[in-house]
Amino acid sequence: MALIEDISEHLRFRPAVEEDYPAIGGLVTSEEELFFVYPKGHYPFDVKQLRVLARERHELTVALVKEKVVGFTNLYDMEANHQAFIGNVIIEKTLRGCGIGRKELLSNVVPEPLLTRRPSPWLLVQSHQ
């Protein structure tokens, strides 16, 4: 398992674009994982499903290490300046547990207006990990 210190100088975040969708889909490696990431999806997680998700969600964000997509998340059920739920958090299998999702990705996805107005960000965890 990689340590966040080992990759932090190469780690960056940006809004997801449609060209990222195949790589995002590839982060989900099983039917069970897909259920925890996107319960109404079907395996394999593909571009068509991500297009639907993009219409329903906000602030789609990817984590990149050396320009490779290694993580993804977004926000849903946003109430302006009040709250948002963080959803669909998925990290490349070889990098899970090193802090990219918990420490880095989540802190980069919540929009500044929500942070400055003291919203109530919510994280719903649907995992057995």
Interval 75-106: pLDDT, tens: 888 776 667 788 888 999 999 888 888 767 76
Q: What is the pLDDT of residue 116?
A: 55
Q: What are residue 87's DSSP bridge partners?
A: 74
Domain coordinates in residue numbering, the chain? 4-123
Query: 100 burial class (0-12, 13-18, 19+ CB within 10 angstroms)?
Result: buried
State the DSSP H helix or E strand holding residue 90, giving kind and residue range, or none if neither: strand 83-91
- Token pair of 4 as six digits: 């966040």
- pTM of the full structure: 0.81
CATH 3.40.630.30 fits 4-123, yes or no: yes
Q: Is the pLDDT of residue 107 over 60?
A: yes
Confidence of residue 18 (pLDDT cuts 50, 70, 90): very high
Closest CA to 65 of 8, 122, 126, 23: 8
Q: Hey, how many other C-beta atoms are within 10 angstroms of the C-beta on 68?
A: 11
Encoded amino acid at 76, one letter? Y
**How far is C-alpha 61 from the geometric centre of its chain's CA atoms?**
6
- The pLDDT of residue 69 is 97
Query: What is the Cα–Cα distance from 45 to 116, expressed in whole angstroms?
Result: 34
